[in-house]
């Protein structure tokens, strides 16, 4: 089948790399945010931690599925499962984008507010965390698009 060669769809090594990247970046975002102190005093930071807590298990699970598929050379081709993966990726990428934007804007406000709200050490941590969240969003939407591209050829 010609559909087997779509790179980045579920069950290929490109998809495995994307999932691995998502897992790494979202874990890094969570760690940079939660190892600092006082993240729970800002709503946006709590939201980022919550969303990353959703993204990490999702990415790790799909990375395991992809790795298994690559090893046994038997990719998933059920349209129903693929639809769930596409929808899950899409919802999670929107939530990740929202979390990343909120975090970035709050960090920007804390940096430029008049007053010593934000010690430099913590603020650079928050910035790195927001950047990692943006990278997670980028990889997650890429996964969603690649699988969406594959979906119609399976359905009809």
Which residues of the chain form contacts with a copy of itself (CB under 8 A)?
42-44, 47, 94, 97-99, 101-106, 108-109, 112, 152
Q: Which of 58, 56, 75 is nearest to 11 (CA)?
A: 75
Minimum distance from residue 114 beta carbon to a copy of itself (Å) = 10
- In 3-state terms, what secondary structure has residue 84? helix
Nearer of residues 33 and 44 to a copy of itself, judged by Cβ: 44
CB distance 71 to 77 below 8 Å? no
**Burial of 2: CB neighbours in 10 Å, binned 0-12, 13-18, 19+:** exposed
**Burial of 84: CB neighbours in 10 Å, binned 0-12, 13-18, 19+:** exposed
Minimum distance from residue 20 beta carbon to a copy of itself (Å) = 24
Minimum distance from residue 146 beta carbon to a copy of itself (Å) = 15
Nearer of residues 26 and 103 to a copy of itself, judged by Cβ: 103
Minimum distance from residue 17 beta carbon to a copy of itself (Å) = 23
Nearer of residues 65 and 92 to a copy of itself, judged by Cβ: 92
Nearer of residues 23 and 48 to a copy of itself, judged by Cβ: 48
Phi/psi for 47 (5° steps) reads -60, -45
């Amino acid at each position: 089948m010609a559909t087997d060669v779509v790179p980045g769809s579920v069950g290929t090594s490109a998809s495995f790399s994307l999932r691995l990247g998502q897992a790494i970046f979202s874990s890094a975002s969570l760690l940079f945010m939660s190892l600092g102190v006082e993240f729970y005093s800002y709503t946006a930071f709590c939201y980022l931690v919550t969303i990353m807590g959703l993204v990490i298990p999702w990415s790790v699970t799909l990375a395991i599925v992809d790795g298994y598929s690559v090893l046994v050379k038997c990719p998933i081709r059920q349209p129903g499962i693929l639809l769930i993966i596409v929808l899950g990726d899409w919802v999670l990428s929107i939530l990740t984008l929202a979390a990343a934007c909120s975090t970035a804007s709050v960090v920007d406000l804390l940096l430029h507010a008049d007053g010593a709200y934000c010690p430099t050490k913590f603020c650079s941590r928050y910035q790195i965390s927001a950047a990692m969240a943006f990278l997670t969003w980028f990889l997650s939407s890429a996964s969603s698009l690649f699988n969406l591209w594959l979906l119609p050829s399976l359905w009809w």
